[in-house]
Structure 1
Amino acid sequence: MEEPEQDSVASPGSSCDNDKDTFPDEQRNAQKGKNANSWQRKNEKLKKKIESEKRELQEEINSLKSQQKSIKCENGNLRSRLQEAEIIKKSLQEQVQVLNRNNQSLTEQKDDLILRLSKLAGAKLTVDNPNIADLSDCKRPTKLAEEFAELYDNEWTDAFENIQLESEPEKIEFMLRLLQSTRHICNDVSRRHMEDITKGIVTLTVRTKKSSEKLSSEQNAIESCNKNDKAESECNESEDKRKRLKVDAVDSDTLEEFVVIEPGEHGEVMNCEEPSKEISAHTGSQTPKVIEPGEHGEVMNCEEPSKEISAHAGSHTPKVHIIAGDVNTFSAAQKQAILEIKKDVEVRLSKQLQEVVTNMVAIENNIDRQTQDSTIKYIAKCVDICWSMCQHEPPVFFDLPETNGETCLDVNVYKPYTKSGKYIDYIVWPPLYLYMGGPLLGKGVAQGRS
Structure 2
Amino acid sequence: MKRLRQDNDNISHERENERKQYMAEKEENENTLKSTLASSRDNNLNITDLSDPNRPTRIAEKMAELYDNQWTDAFDALEQTDKNEKEIINMLLESLMTAYGECFNLANENFFEKVQRVIECPKLVDKQLPTRVVISDQLKKEIKEFRKNQATKVWKEIEGIVLPKIQLSSYHQQDIDSYLSLCVEISWLMVVQDPPLVLNDKAQDRFDTNTFKDYTKRGPIVEFVVWPALLLHESGPLLAKGVAQGCTSHT
Give me the TM-score of the superposition, normalised by structure 2.
0.71
| Aligned twin of 1:188 | 105
| Cα pair 2:46 2:56 within 8 Å, conserved | no
Structure with higher Rg: it is 1
- Relative distance call for 1:439 and 1:326 in structure 2 (3 A) is same
Cα distance, 1:355 vs structure 2 = 4.4
- Relative distance call for 1:380 and 1:323 in structure 2 (3 A) is closer
Q: How does 1:327-366 map to 2 (within 5 A)?
A: 327=135, 330-332=136-138, 334-358=139-163, 360-361=164-165, 364-365=167-168
Q: 1:431, 1:177 → 2: CA distance?
A: 14
Aligned AA for 2:228? Answer: P
Q: Percent of counterpart pairs with the same letter?
A: 33
| Aligned twin of 2:86 | 169
| Aligned twin of 2:192 | 391
Cα distance, 1:337 vs structure 2 = 1.5
Aligned AA for 2:68? Answer: D
| Cα pair 2:148 2:189 within 8 Å, conserved | no
Aligned AA for 1:393? Answer: D
1:379 aligns with 2:180: yes
Cα distance, 1:409 vs structure 2 = 0.5
1:155 aligns with 2:70: yes
Q: Runs of 5+ in structure 2 lacking a partner?
A: 1-39
Deviation string for 1:34-55 (max 9, x for gaps)? xxxxxxxxxxxxxxxxxxxxxx
Q: 1:189, 1:331 → 2: CA distance?
A: 20
Q: How does 1:299-310 map to 2 (within 5 A)?
A: none
Q: How many residues align?
A: 202
Cα distance, 1:196 vs structure 2 = 4.7
Deviation string for 1:325-357 (max 9, x for gaps)? 443xx243x332121232244432123323443
Runs of 4+ in 1 over 6 A off after TM superposition: none
Q: 1:180, 1:173 → 2: CA distance?
A: 10
| Cα pair 1:355 1:380 within 8 Å, conserved | no
Q: How does 1:29-428 map to 2 (within 5 A)?
A: 129-130=43-44, 132-133=46-47, 134-163=49-78, 164-192=81-109, 194-200=111-117, 204=120, 324-327=132-135, 330-332=136-138, 334-358=139-163, 360-361=164-165, 364-365=167-168, 367-369=170-172, 372-401=173-202, 407-428=205-226
Give me the TM-score of the superposition, normalised by structure 1.
0.41
| Cα pair 2:116 2:131 within 8 Å, conserved | no
Cα distance, 1:412 vs structure 2 = 1.4
Cα distance, 1:199 vs structure 2 = 2.1
| Cα pair 1:130 1:394 within 8 Å, conserved | no
Higher RCO (C-alpha 8 Å, min separation 6):
2
